[in-house]
């Protein structure tokens, strides 16, 4: 048995991104499972969220479709993971917090992120990078001085056994 501490433990970014991705696994959306984790400056988890319907709106009743008539698709109804994490927070302030999210935030979530005082976003996927809503997000984040960067996956496999 070793008397030295382990040196192969995961980084804070790996830990919190894994938490965000696990949160996303709670989503019942058949196409997009996005998760978020809000963390304090001293590395305490403040809130978690995933994409889904608002409280009281049955995921068996409301639509999950991506296409079709607006009222028959999910987009008017789904609350994004970032918004859920912000709304789930019960503390006093998110000023200076970091947001770990599995997908770069849309323009609507970006407004809430800025208004809540979150100072840094660490995102994994940026698959909508060239879409107008994402361009608008970056413009607002830059103007508001909110730092954002892509999660640097070390390639280390994080195995979770239950």
**Cα atoms found within 13 Å of the Cα of residue 9, Cβ hemisphere only:** 7
Please tell me the distance from the alpha carbon of residue 10 to that of residue 157, in angstroms, as a whole number.
10
Q: What are the beta bridge partners of residue 14? A: none
State the pLDDT at residue 95.
Answer: 98
- Residues whose CB falls within 8 Å of the CB of residue 151, separated by 6 or more in sequence, listed in order: 13, 17, 100, 122, 123, 124
Q: Tokens 């997908």 identify what position?
A: 103
Segment 110-137 mean pLDDT? 98
pLDDT of 162 strictly over 60: no
Distance from the first to the final alpha carbon of the chain: 25
pLDDT of 119 strictly over 80: yes
pLDDT single digits (tens) 140-155: 999 999 999 999 987 7
Query: Strand runs (DSSP E) across 7-44, as ranges?
Result: 35-39
pLDDT single digits (tens) 44-99: 999 999 999 999 999 999 999 999 999 999 999 999 999 999 999 999 999 999 99
pTM of the entire structure? Answer: 0.92
Please tell me the distance from the alpha carbon of residue 87 to that of residue 70, in angstroms, as a whole number.
25
pLDDT of 139 strictly over 90: yes
Which tokens hold the place of 49? 């969220």
Catalytic site positions: 82
């Amino acid at each position: 048995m070793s008397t030295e501490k382990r040196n192969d433990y995961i980084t804070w970014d790996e830990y919190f991104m894994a938490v965000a991705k696990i949160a996303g696994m709670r989503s019942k959306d058949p196409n997009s499972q996005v998760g978020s984790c809000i963390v304090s400056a001293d590395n305490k988890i403040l809130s978690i969220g995933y994409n889904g319907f608002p409280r009281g709106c049955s995921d068996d009743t409301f639509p999950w479709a991506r296409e079709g008539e607006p009222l028959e698709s999910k987009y008017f109804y789904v609350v994004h993971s970032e918004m859920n994490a912000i709304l789930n927070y019960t503390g006093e302030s998110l000023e200076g917090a970091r947001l770990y999210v599995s997908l770069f935030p849309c323009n609507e979530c970006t407004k809430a992120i800025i208004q809540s005082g979150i100072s840094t976003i660490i995102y994994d996927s940026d698959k909508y990078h060239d879409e107008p809503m994402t361009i608008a997000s970056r413009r607002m984040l830059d103007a508001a001085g909110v730092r954002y960067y892509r999660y640097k996956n070390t390639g280390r496999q994080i195995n979770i056994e239950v």
